[in-house]
Structure 1
């Protein structure tokens, strides 16, 4: 906005109003004085926030990847054995619990391994391995109850496992793979 300028279009009949500026006029200040907070103002005498209130910083966690891998393999074996040793009558509804061995594998990988980008795919593979060990353990128990000798026990269990595969087992392996990957990554992010 501009103030009326006399003489351009003739004298104005309106009363004189306040002048408006697009920029505020400079305040009357002594020469060389800079207002605090303006660019170029000296910052001497001010304390930083860190010197007044120290910010607690967490020390970075040491990566123990080898220990994480050993514990994850042990968790895979234990989770697979626990999965396979469930009562035989609950075997049909047990497949949806494929996320439990994935969680057991993901816990040591995420907490001890840190944010290593190779650990989530490894967690997925170990979770699927735990599911495989669980299913083979279940079939070993069924074949062992049938009474063949110890020499043909594993061969008969593998044959029974192949014969018993259903399309729904693919969904269980997908649950184990996705659960192992995501749980390992989330556990590493929280730690």
Structure 2
């Protein structure tokens, strides 16, 4: 004969404690109901923003390029009309020119692949315009030579190029590309 084991007949020797349930009781749901967030649930509150037609992105792109061209022109002229005695210290202004061009390209243009290289070229051309304007002002102040104002300006610009100017053009190119890419809103 065997002795009875406590709890073998369903009774336990442990004291009774509160019972906890980790799963809530199933509630009745209407026929065809799908819980929110589950596959097959209807999406509510979602209104896709679509442009008013295929010409809307093109308009934004042309607005971005036009405003960047204007910014490059104004930035180059501001660089060129700075006081002549400060011409040597203005090379670092290439970063500001790159930012000035990149802001409208990135913010208005959107994620177009054309815009970062265009930002680089516009920043470098703005720097070139500024340097040519400085030399033009200097030659105009000294009096034009026998070859003409434009040719004398290009000759003076070419003869005064330094290795540091190449670094400033590199800064303008890289800065224009990177800043345009970074100011572009990514979805």
CA RMSD between the two structures: 3.0
Establish whether residue 131 from structure 1 lines up as the match of residue 127 from structure 2. yes
> What are the residue-to-residue correspondences of 1:145-184 with 2, within 5 Å?
145-148=141-144, 152-184=148-180
Whole-Å Cα distance in 2 between the matches of residues 86 and 160 of structure 1?
18
| Structure 1 segments of 4+ aligned residues over 4 angstroms from their partners | 43-46, 53-58
Change (3 A) 1:103 1:89: same
Q: Relative to structure 2, which stretch is displaced further, 61-70 or 154-163?
A: 61-70
Establish whether residue 47 from structure 1 lines up as the match of residue 35 from structure 2. yes
Q: Deviations over 1:1-49 (max 9, x none)?
A: xxxxxxxxxxxxxxxxxxxxxxxxxxxxxxxxxx99xxxxxx9655315
Q: Which residue of 1 aligns with 2:75?
A: 79
Whole-Å Cα distance in 2 between the matches of residues 182 and 169 of structure 1?
20
Q: Relative to structure 2, which stretch is displaced further, 54-63 or 141-150?
A: 54-63
How far does residue 190 in structure 1 lie from its aligned partner after superposition?
A: 5.8
Whole-Å Cα distance in 1 between the matches of residues 103 and 146 of structure 2?
35
Q: Contact 2:107–2:184 at 8 Å: present in 1 too?
A: yes
- Structure 2 segments unaligned to the other structure (5+ residues): 1-22, 25-30
1:99 alignment partner, SS class = helix
Change (3 A) 1:56 1:138: farther
How far does residue 70 in structure 1 lie from its aligned partner after superposition?
A: 1.2
How far does residue 125 in structure 1 lie from its aligned partner after superposition?
A: 0.3
Q: 1:143 aligns with which of 130, 139, 142?
A: 139
Aligned pairs, how many? Answer: 151
Q: 1:65 aligns with which of 54, 61, 78?
A: 61
Change (3 A) 1:46 1:100: same
1:189 alignment partner, SS class = coil
TM-score (norm 2): 0.70
TM-score (norm 1): 0.69
Whole-Å Cα distance in 2 between the matches of residues 60 and 183 of structure 1?
27
- Structure 1 segments unaligned to the other structure (5+ residues): 1-34, 37-42
Whole-Å Cα distance in 1 between the matches of residues 146 and 103 of structure 2?
35
Q: 2:112 aligns with which of 111, 116, 128?
A: 116
Whole-Å Cα distance in 1 between the matches of residues 49 and 85 of structure 2?
50
